[in-house]
Structure 1
C-alpha cells in the first residue's frame, strides 16, 4: 500500500528543511516514456517486457531509470519504439539527449556511462523538468505533484514530464531539473515556476532547494551554506574542492567564484511538525563554522 500524509500541516509546505537531501545515487539518468500503469518499484516484473529490460540494463550499469509521461490527459497517439531521454549529470558540462529506439537492446547505455551521446540519440538544447507523481509509491506525490506538473507544463510546454519516484517522499511535490540533477522539494506551483525559470537562466533558488544529485549529502550541505552566505546563485559557480570527515563532522574547502571558504558542518536532528509516514524525525545539517580563506590560509588548509 502506498504511503501518505494523514494531514498536511507542516508537511509538503516548506515547513521542514529540504537542504542536502537530493538523491545521492543519481549521476546518470535514463528516462523511459511509459503511458501504462507504474508499479510501486521499477525492479518488479509488472512492466512490459521491453521497458522492464531497459530498466534492468540501466540498473546493471549504475544508471538511474525513471518512467515518464506527459502531464494531463493520456491522448497522445502511440508511436513505434520507445522514447527515451538520457541525462549525464556529471561535472561542469552535463548534457541531455533524446531518441526513439526500436527495442531495449538498441540503446547504447555504455556510451552514457562513458559520457558520450549514443548514436541513436541527439543532444537537447533545453532542460527538462521532472515532477514526481508516483501514486503507488506515495499518494502525496500524486495528490500534490499532479496539479503542479500540469501548471508547470502550461508554463513550459513540451519540457515537463511526470515521473516515477525520485527519492524523498516527505518533500513532495518534488521537482528535478535536468541535465544538472538539481532537486527541489515541498514545491508550490509558484515556487516551481520560479525555480524552473531560474534554472533556464543558469541559476538556483535556495528556497526549497534540496541539492544536486550524485553528490554526498554532507557536501550538498556544505555547498548550500556557502551559497547562503555569499548569495551566489549561478549553477556552476560553487564547487567543493576538497573535504574530509572526522566522525560526524565534515570540513570542506568550497570555491564560490574566485573566493574560497573553509566550511564545517555536522548532522542535526529535526522533529517534523506532523508525525506521519511522510515526515517524522529528519536528519539535516547545521553550520558549525564558515571562514573566508586568504591565499596563505588556503594553501595551509589544502595541505593539512
Structure 2
C-alpha cells in the first residue's frame, strides 16, 4: 500500500498535552480537567492540532503542573517548546500562531517522536504501536511519547517526528528506529515516508519524487516553491539546492483488492519531472 503524500495537511501548529489516560475515541469525550478541555477547544478554533501524550510503558497518574508541548512545523526554522502549567488556559496560543515561543515555554533542543497508540480510535494503532513506542522509548529515552490519533489509521503504526512534522506509516520496530535515527541526523528515510504535515498533498508528492530522483534525503534539501492545480493534476516548481525542477503529479486511486472497492486509497503518480534550466525532461 503506498504511503506517500498522506501526511495530515491541517497540522502546521501542534499542541501536545500530557495525560496518562484512559483515552476515549475522541478528545472531547476524554475525562480531562475542564481547563484542559477549554484549551483543546480553543486550539481547535484556531486551527492548532491537539494531541494527548503519555510516556511509553506502565501507566501512572501525572501529578502537579500539566506538561504541554507546542510546535510550529512549517516555520522557516521549525521548533518545538515545552512548559508546565498550573492552569493550562494560561498558555498563549496566539504566540504560537505568530511563530513565537509562548511565555513559560522553553525550546526543546532534541527531536520529539510521537507514536499513535490510540486503541479506542483503532485497535491496530495500539496493537502495533505500543511495542514500537516501548522499543523506541528504550532507544531514545525521554524523547518518545505515545499519542492519540494522528490521522491515517490504515497506515498503523504511525510515527511523527517533530519539530518538522514528518509522518511515517506501516512502521515496524526496526523501521521506526531507523527513521528516528535518520531524523536525529537531519535526514529522511523514503521507505514508508508519508510526507510532511502542514503542506498540501500534491506538494508532498512532488517533494517525494524529487527526493527519489536526486537521492537527497536531507530534511531541508528539497522544497516546493509554487504549485498550480487543474483538477487532479498539479504542476509544482521544486527547489533542490541550486537546481529547480518542474514536477507534474496526478491524483489517482489505489485499490488494494485490485478493483474499485470501499477500501480504495487516493495516492499520486508522477506524470513528468524536468530540469527547468535546460528544459530537458529527465523523466516523463
User: TM-score by structure 2 length?
Assistant: 0.94
State the SS of the aligned residue for 1:43.
helix
In 1, distance between residues paired with 2:69 and 2:258?
37
Structure 2 counterpart of 1:8 = none
How far 1:273 sits from its partner (Å)? 4.6
Q: Does 1:48 align with 2:33?
A: yes
User: TM-score by structure 1 length?
Assistant: 0.88
How do 1:21-40 residues align onto structure 2 when only pairs under 5 Å count? 21-40=6-25
Q: Does 1:170 align with 2:154?
A: yes
> Which of 266, 269, 283 in structure 1 is aligned with 2:253?
269
Contact 1:83 1:101 in 2 (8 A): yes
Q: What CA RMSD, in Å, does the superposition of the two structures yield over aligned residues?
A: 1.8
> Which of 189, 194, 201 in structure 2 is aligned with 1:205?
189
Runs of 4 or more, structure 1, over 6 Å off, are none
Contact 1:38 1:47 in 2 (8 A): no
How far 1:169 sits from its partner (Å)? 0.1
Gaps of 5+ in 2: none
Q: Does 1:92 align with 2:94?
A: no
How far 1:267 sits from its partner (Å)? 1.2
Contact 1:274 1:280 in 2 (8 A): no
In 1, distance between residues paired with 2:8 and 2:45?
18
How far 1:260 sits from its partner (Å)? 0.9
Contact 2:23 2:30 in 1 (8 A): no
> Which of 294, 298, 304 in structure 1 is aligned with 2:277?
294
* CA deviation string 1:68-115 (max 9, x = no partner): 00000124x633121001111123301110010011221111111111
* CA deviation string 1:175-207 (max 9, x = no partner): 000000000000000000000000001110100
Q: Does 1:191 align with 2:180?
A: no
Gaps of 5+ in 1: 1-15, 299-304
